A and B are shown apart, each in its own frame.
Chain A
Amino acid sequence: MATKILTVEDDERIRSAVKLAFEEEGWDVSEAGTGEEALAKFSLELPDVVLIDIMLPGIDGFEVCRALRRESDVPIIMVTARADTHDVVAGLEAGADDYLTKPFAPKELSARIRAMLRRARNSDGQTLQRIKVGDLEISPEEGIVLKGEEEVHLTKTEFKLLVELAGQPGKVFSREVLLERVWGYDYFGDGRLVDVHVRRLRTKIEPDAANPRYVVTSRGMGYKLQP
């Protein structure tokens, strides 16, 4: 079955051009011009990846993202105006997995989407043993994290990040290493992806997100999972 992409973008010409490029990749593309339309289409079509432009008339991209996150862990890519505005962090905090700045080359987007689909589908044949750290129990194979008795709902990216860190508890992972292993970025990926995802992860698994017990920052170097 072909991969299905939902493109949420209010400029019809961009939508058409992106659709053409994606169809060249062999993907199914459905389009939405507003946030409302996007939410309606999402529940109908259940796409594999959602691409959202932040600047939308009516409910904006952040709101669409938050609404989708409430019901789904579908991979979401945000399209922002600039890389260094607060939009990027806000988009990631709203639940996006990755972002691109406009104008992007569709090839770049395809590469991102492929990387995202890869991590949505498997865990690259990593050690699939259960990992127990403190109260946490991580089952890479089933994609489940238990905090005590309770299941924690993580997005695919958050889960992959946690599994990477849990693979070598106590070892420090630089942002570059995590960007490469979780997102498939090279050295020049945006470290804020890691920072915001760590933050999101902490709010879900830490007893106190402000004083993390599990995912600890190693000053100036990266992150580690405290055994």
Chain B
Amino acid sequence: MGLAWRPLGLRTRVSVSYALGALALSSALALAVPALVQQRLLTNTQSAAQDQVWRNAEALRRDIASSTNDGEPLTENGISSALDDLLRSNGALLLLLLPDGEPRSLSGLLETNIPISVAETVATAGAAQQLTNINDIPQLVIGLRIAEIDATYYELVPLDDLNTTLNTLRVVLGLMAVGSGAAAALIGYYSSRRLLHPLSEVATAAQAIASGRFDTQLDEQPDPDLDRLTTSFNDMGDALRQRIERDQRFASDVSHELRSPLMTLSASVEVLKGRQNEMPEAASQAVDLLASDIARFQQLVADLLEISQLDAGAIVLDRSPLLVGEFLYRVLDQFGASAVISPDPRESEIAVLGDKRRLAQAVSNLLENANKYGGGAKLVRFSGDSSVVTIEVIDDGPGVPEADRTRIFERFSRAGADAGRRETATGVGLGLSLVSEHIRLHEGRVYVTDRLDGKSGARFVIELPAFHRAAEDGELAL
């Protein structure tokens, strides 16, 4: 399928609008400047041309006049040589109309080239000029009446030089427009990046907070515009942290408060248990119920405390090298589990660097879980390579449905709790979440799959970093 439409980023938008703005401005200049320059140049050229034409006409008049003595008719020779002089001196295109109606031109300028409006204005007002195109070259046509000899003098001033200049100017300005557009895009890009830099810091800090580092703070900004953002962000972080700390303290305080009465309860129920044989049957049963629920209550409070410590990041692992085989053997023994350990723990040198009691609790919780939901663990298997040690706890119960495999490691969740499969579920759902937290503290992970041999049952897997014993520096006493 095609790419999903994504709105342009702020930075792109800023760059594009900078570029468009610069382009519009410089294009307007590129259009306006040649027009203004053209106007100005034209005026200058026109007045210069006018002067020139006046001078030419005057020279012509003088030449012609001097070549004829008073009263004598104009000689053809005189006219020709006067025109010739003019032509030589400035190379202009010129045309002289004499009273005899015969046009004289040495440069190919024809009477038909002269716009009628110019001829008429010259005839009535004595002088005229107009811009026109002759042979696709813009030309200024200037006409003058030389009353003294009753002639009309026309001259064409080509403006193609002017046009070349203007065209060059247009090209230069156009290029500059494109260039400044590109430059503006770059400036927009970098300045928006600079402007957005504090935002990316905020984003980084927010990410840090989201991942649990609640003490993340933004540095004080000297810029008053950014100071507000920084201050309110830091205030938000503080408020969040205080709130979370309050919640954690609450859980911890509650558990602490519960311990004193629990202490009294467990000591008292023990005295009662010691005297159970002196009690009537019903009282004795009640004491059993009381004792087992007090034990459960104690475990729950201990788990809650552990969780609140984990949340507060206050757990310090007491790590030492553990031979995994021996460790599992001891855990199973203490738990009273009948599962088989494979391979033989006495022959294995596989080791991890772990907090013995927390790892023992993790494995016990998996065994407990197997008791509750899987009819008890059948096999505990371990293996290790140079980097990872794997411990598997396998039962032959119904297994854990795919959809529950993440959820069961969350607090107070229970496999299939919503599917009504809770007939044997009497414990609270903190056990597996503690397993997950403890293994995570050990830089490991825990997950559940189906059994690998295709039979029904759950396979809980703990993975821990392997530990390699340094060269032995002493013989072990047994």
Give the dominant DSSP class at B's interface: helix
Binds A, one of B1-9, B84-92, B227-235, B466-474: B466-474
Question: How many A residues have CB within 8 A of the partner chain?
Answer: 39
Are A188 and B267 CB-contacts (below 8 A) given A82-B305, A84-B316?
no
Q: In the assembled complex, how far is the CB of residue A133 from the closest CB belonging to chain B, in whole angstroms?
A: 15
B264 and A17 contact, CB distance less than 8 A: yes
Answer yes or no: A175 CB below 8 A from chain B CBs: yes
A84 and B477 contact, CB distance less than 8 A: no
Complex Cα–Cα for A168 and B460 (A):
42
- Binary interface profile of A, 96-107, with partner B (CB < 8 Å = 1, else 0)? 000000111111
B268 and A172 contact, CB distance less than 8 A: no
Chain B residue contacts of A191, Cβ below 8 A: 318, 320, 356
Complex Cα–Cα for A107 and B267 (A):
9
- Binary interface profile of B, 128-162, with partner A (CB < 8 Å = 1, else 0)? 00000000000000000000000000000000000
A171 and B260 contact, CB distance less than 8 A: no
* B474 partner, pick from A83, A106, A221, beta carbons under 8 A: A221
How big is the B interface, by class? 35 or more
Chain B residue contacts of A218, Cβ below 8 A: 473-474
Chain B residue contacts of A177, Cβ below 8 A: 477-478
B259 and A173 contact, CB distance less than 8 A: no
Answer yes or no: A11 CB below 8 A from chain B CBs: yes
Chain B residue contacts of A106, Cβ below 8 A: 266-267, 270
Chain B residue contacts of A82, Cβ below 8 A: 305, 309
A220 and B320 contact, CB distance less than 8 A: yes
A17 and B473 contact, CB distance less than 8 A: no
A105 nearest CB neighbor, chain B only:
B266
Answer yes or no: B290 CB below 8 A from chain A CBs: no
Most chain B beta-carbon neighbours within 10 Å: one of A103, A174, A190: A103
A13 nearest CB neighbor, chain B only:
B264
B357 and A190 contact, CB distance less than 8 A: yes
Are A17 and B268 CB-contacts (below 8 A) given A218-B474, A220-B470?
yes
Most chain A beta-carbon neighbours within 10 Å: one of B256, B321, B477: B477
A83 nearest CB neighbor, chain B only:
B357
Chain B residue contacts of A13, Cβ below 8 A: 260-261, 264
B321 nearest CB neighbor, chain A only:
A220
Complex Cα–Cα for A82 and B298 (A):
13
Complex Cα–Cα for A68 and B63 (A):
142
Answer yes or no: B208 CB below 8 A from chain A CBs: no
Are A188 and B356 CB-contacts (below 8 A) given A21-B270, A168-B477?
yes
* B320 partner, pick from A14, A102, A103, A175, beta carbons under 8 A: A175
Complex Cα–Cα for A173 and B475 (A):
9
B475 and A14 contact, CB distance less than 8 A: no
A22 nearest CB neighbor, chain B only:
B267
Chain B residue contacts of A222, Cβ below 8 A: 476
Complex Cα–Cα for A20 and B260 (A):
16
Are A187 and B330 CB-contacts (below 8 A) given A171-B474, A220-B470?
yes
Complex Cα–Cα for A172 and B318 (A):
20
Answer yes or no: B262 CB below 8 A from chain A CBs: yes
Answer yes or no: A219 CB below 8 A from chain B CBs: yes
Per the 8 Å Cβ criterion, residues 309-343 of B in contact with A are 309, 315-316, 318, 320-321, 326-327, 330, 334
- Binary interface profile of A, 160-176, with partner B (CB < 8 Å = 1, else 0)? 00000000101111110
Answer yes or no: B239 CB below 8 A from chain A CBs: no
Chain A residue contacts of B309, Cβ below 8 A: 82, 84
Complex Cα–Cα for A24 and B261 (A):
20
* A171 partner, pick from B267, B472, B477, beta carbons under 8 A: B477
* A14 partner, pick from B264, B315, B360, beta carbons under 8 A: B264
Answer yes or no: A119 CB below 8 A from chain B CBs: no
- Binary interface profile of B, 190-233, with partner A (CB < 8 Å = 1, else 0)? 00000000000000000000000000000000000000000000
Per the 8 Å Cβ criterion, residues 46-85 of B in contact with A are none
* B263 partner, pick from A17, A24, A83, beta carbons under 8 A: A17
Are A18 and B267 CB-contacts (below 8 A) given A190-B357, A191-B320?
yes
A12 nearest CB neighbor, chain B only:
B264
A-B contact pairs, 13 of them (CB 8 A): A11-B264, A14-B263, A14-B264, A21-B270, A24-B270, A83-B357, A84-B318, A102-B260, A171-B476, A172-B475, A177-B478, A191-B320, A221-B472
4 smallest CB-CB distances across A and B, nearest first, come from: A17-B267, A171-B477, A172-B474, A103-B263
17 additional A-B residue pairs with CB within 8 Å, beyond A188-B360, A190-B357, A218-B474: A13-B261, A16-B264, A17-B263, A17-B264, A24-B270, A84-B309, A105-B270, A171-B475, A172-B474, A174-B477, A175-B320, A187-B356, A188-B356, A221-B472, A221-B474, A221-B476, A224-B474
